[in-house]
């Protein structure tokens, strides 16, 4: 019996008290002697077999699983206490804000488009955009993939980022050179987007890419 015997004994003692049962009452219900019952609860007997656990559970009007700590008083399973069960990871929800172009920039309205649920232990992400186009395929980002971003207004050279140009967003590898911003595609069939101060464009880095989710077979 892998569960802590002390925990099991505590649950037996607690239910006994809740039902206001004496050791004599328990003896009559279980067919066990009062001294044996006392030794089970105090820990003098270190081996509580499943057969005895079933008898005690019936007398206490609970299930053996409850005494084992595998379910609560409402018969709901407590998954993390059950041997061999891998409990679900704790999740967080990241807002999906729309679509981002992997070719020519497209209009990027930050409209509500649902949430994406991810493991909260994964790298920090603040928003998700859905990839469109094929200019980032050499970075293994394809149309329909969900791209995760950490919100920040500057990134290191060589970082893949979401960049807003006027009112259009694009996904590219960013390089900064003097007064120019070079947005480099990851597809040899595409030319980089080069933006200089003289272009009179409003440039805003929205965030650094921190992950990609795809349903494609790789």
- How high is the mean pLDDT of the chain? 81
The answer to whether domain 5-81 and domain 91-213 are alike in fold is: no
pLDDT at residue number 117: 75
**Set 15, 16, 132, 172: catalytic member:** 172
Q: What is the CATH number of domain 91-213?
A: 2.10.109.10
Q: Looking at the structure, give the CATH architecture of the domain made up of residues 5-81.
A: Orthogonal Bundle (1.10)
Rounded to an integer, the average pLDDT of 44-69 is 83
Q: What is the mean pLDDT of residues 14-23?
A: 90
The larger pLDDT score, comparing residue 112 to residue 9, is at 9
Residue 135 known to be catalytic: yes
Interval 174-185 mean pLDDT: 88
pLDDT at 178: 79
The answer for 158, left when phi > 0, alpha when psi is -120 to 50, beta otherwise, is left
pLDDT at 160 over 90: yes
Does residue 42 have a pLDDT over 70?
Answer: yes
Segment 103-152, tens digit of pLDDT: 665 544 445 567 777 777 666 888 888 888 999 999 999 998 989 898 88
Residue 215: active-site member: no
At residue 107, the pLDDT reads 46
What is the CA 98 to chain-centroid distance, rounded?
22
Please report, for residues 66, 94, 178, the alpha-carbon distance to residue 119 in angstroms, rounded to integers and kept in the order given. 29, 10, 39
Mean pLDDT of 29-50: 81
What would the two tokens of residue 40 be? Answer: 């089970």
Task: Determine the pLDDT at residue 183.
Answer: 93
Q: Which of 135, 196, 201, 214 is catalytic?
A: 135
How are the residues of the chain apportioned to helix, strand and coil, as percentages rounded to the nearest 5? 25, 30, 45
Domain range annotation of the chain: 5-81, 91-213
pLDDT in tens, 64-87: 888 888 888 777 777 677 666 555
pTM equals 0.55
Residue 218 has pLDDT above 70, yes or no: no
Per DSSP, the three-state class of 145 is coil
């Amino acid at each position: 019996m892998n569960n802590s015997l002390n925990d099991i004994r505590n649950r037996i003692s607690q239910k006994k008290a809740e039902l206001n049962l004496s050791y004599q009452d328990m003896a009559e219900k279980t067919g066990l002697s009062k001294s044996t019952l006392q030794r089970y609860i105090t820990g003098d007997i270190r081996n509580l077999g499943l057969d005895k656990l079933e008898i005690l559970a019936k007398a206490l009007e609970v299930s053996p699983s409850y005494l084992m700590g595998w379910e609560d008083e409402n018969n709901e399973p407590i998954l993390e206490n059950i041997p061999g069960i891998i409990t679900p990871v704790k999740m967080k929800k990241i807002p999906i804000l729309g679509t981002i172009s992997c070719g020519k920039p497209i209009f990027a309205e930050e409209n509500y488009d649902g949430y994406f649920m991810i493991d909260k232990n994964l790298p920090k992400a603040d928003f998700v955009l859905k990839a469109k186009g094929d200019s980032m395929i050499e970075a293994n980002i394809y149309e329909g993939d969900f791209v995760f971003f950490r919100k920040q207004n500057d990134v290191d050279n060589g970082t893949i980022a979401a960049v807003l140009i006027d009112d259009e967003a694009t996904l590219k590898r960013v390089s900064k050179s003097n007064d120019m911003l070079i947005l480099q595609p990851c597809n040899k069939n595409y030319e980089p987007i080069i933006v200089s101060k003289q272009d009179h464009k409003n440039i805003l880095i929205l965030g650094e890419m921190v992950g990609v989710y795809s349903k494609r077979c790789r």
